[in-house]
A and B are shown apart, each in its own frame.
Chain A
């Protein structure tokens, strides 16, 4: 027997889907800006794996010579990106949703288990909670990265008026480097997120659009109220 179960609140779905194009535009306009001083690379010491990015890559994406446009877009969408992120955090705090999202002391061990399972190195199924330990860590980290982007962004946007902040982050060039790699982190997050969503299947994806998922009644414990006191590992019983 199956039944419908509410999974994601309407507000969270809106924040998520509004954030998607906003984050994309922030990264895209960021690349338009970055091109003008594309100095970072992946490598160790003198050895360079690859430069970020080869001029051919920029050219193929139509990025060169659009610095002014990139800055204008970046300083337009930054407002919406920041406000949406702020409202999301505010909502999770006020609604209690944060209890599903913030890792607890069991999340880390569970996350290792989930990763081993997903790499087919372990047969232990991830717990059927809304978010398992690996998800909790990932979804909380990406919010902290968002805060990091805001802070490092401010430090390179107003390095004189906010000189103390820029200094705290190691100076102007260092803050720019941090800002860049946080964007790289989003791309990494996005790739893994996409793979995991594909693996989890349609029912899971549809829940992020409709809010509901179909579950087998009786097998899955109802998750009506957030219950942080319940140990994570015992949910499978």
Chain B
């Protein structure tokens, strides 16, 4: 074909080639603009504010996802439980808030909320109904370990001592959800580690004030004498060595959320 120039067929082919060039120019231009817009969008998205926090659009999206999570949070949906003999020791992951020189014997848990304050001994927690569960402890890093936990439900604790409510009565999520304070904040005695939780997650039946692990009292490195265990959040929320517990309407600070992680962290 190529050596037979200036024939009508070639004229037509040339016309086709011109048409294609025009289409290409337009389309590749649109694509280039699209790519530039995408790149600009990426720059906007990843522009960091001061400090360790996430870029704002990403933080807002995590908050949106969290709100969505709260909206379909079901108090009744329980984490699957495992046979007791599948339980293993989870790794000790992080030393924040576990400063040396801590004395578990003189330990008290200080509880505040709705204008009241008092401290609790371990015996008082252990007098509450004893709950035993073998569940999968899920770390935000991506690993998980099946562990057997024993303790008192945080909801039983709140009910027994009439905590977590504005009115000073026992919490009742069903009939008086408005009476509940919105959050629980927990901190280690030295304030080195702290977590915040929404109230529905805190009152979930698998959220325990835990004092035994795999049938033995908690070791110091796993949070003796009392730690939180919740199956509805990543492990970062299961704070060890609870020093204080606060029921509040102001969202409590959270150690890992300050480092760019999701505040809600719900599973």
Chain A residues at the B interface, C-beta cutoff of 8 Å? 1-4, 17, 21, 33-34, 36-37, 39, 67-69, 71-73, 75-76, 79, 158-161, 163, 166-167, 172-173, 176, 206, 209-212, 214
Contacts and interface: CB of A to CB of B under 8 A. Distances in A.
Contact of A160 (B31, B139, B262, B267): B267
A132 to B, nearest CB: 23
A91 B45 CA distance: 29
Given A17-B34, A214-B20, A159 B54 contact: no
Contacts of B256: 68
Contacts of B140: 36, 67, 71
Contact of B57 (A21, A36, A76): A76
Contacts, number: 106
Interface string B53-76: 011011101100100010011100
A135 to B, nearest CB: 22
18 contacts: A4-B23, A17-B34, A34-B142, A37-B143, A39-B143, A67-B141, A68-B260, A71-B140, A72-B58, A76-B61, A158-B266, A159-B79, A160-B78, A161-B73, A163-B79, A173-B144, A210-B24, A210-B26
A76 B45 CA distance: 10
Interface of B: 9, 12-13, 16-17, 19-20, 23-24, 26-28, 31, 34, 38, 45, 54-55, 57-59, 61-62, 65, 69, 72-74, 77-80, 136, 138-144, 231-232, 256, 259-262, 266-267
Given A21-B38, A36-B142, A173-B144, A211 B27 contact: yes
A40 B54 CA distance: 28
Given A3-B16, A158-B69, A163-B79, A72 B61 contact: yes
B172 to A, nearest CB: 22
Contacts of A37: 139, 141-143
| A-B complex: 8 closest residue pairs judged by Cβ atoms | A37-B142, A68-B260, A36-B141, A72-B58, A210-B27, A160-B267, A76-B61, A210-B23
Given A72-B59, A161-B74, A214 B142 contact: no
A208 to B, nearest CB: 10
Contacts of B72: 161
Nearest to B58: A72
Nearest to B259: A68
Given A68-B260, A163-B79, A167-B80, A4 B20 contact: yes
A158 B13 CA distance: 58
A150 B73 CA distance: 20
A172 B54 contact: no
A71 B262 contact: yes
A163 B77 contact: yes
Contacts of B69: 158, 161
Contacts of B138: 159, 172
Main secondary structure of the interface of A (DSSP, over half): helix
B121 to A, nearest CB: 32
A159 B136 CA distance: 10
Nearest to B54: A72
B52 to A, nearest CB: 9
Contacts of A73: 58
Contacts of B61: 72, 75-76, 79
Contacts of A79: 61
Task: Pick the most buried of B74, B141, B143, B267: most chain A CB atoms within 10 A of its CB.
Answer: B267
A87 to B, nearest CB: 16
Given A37-B141, A158-B69, A209 B9 contact: no
Contacts of A1: 9, 12-13
Contacts of A176: 142
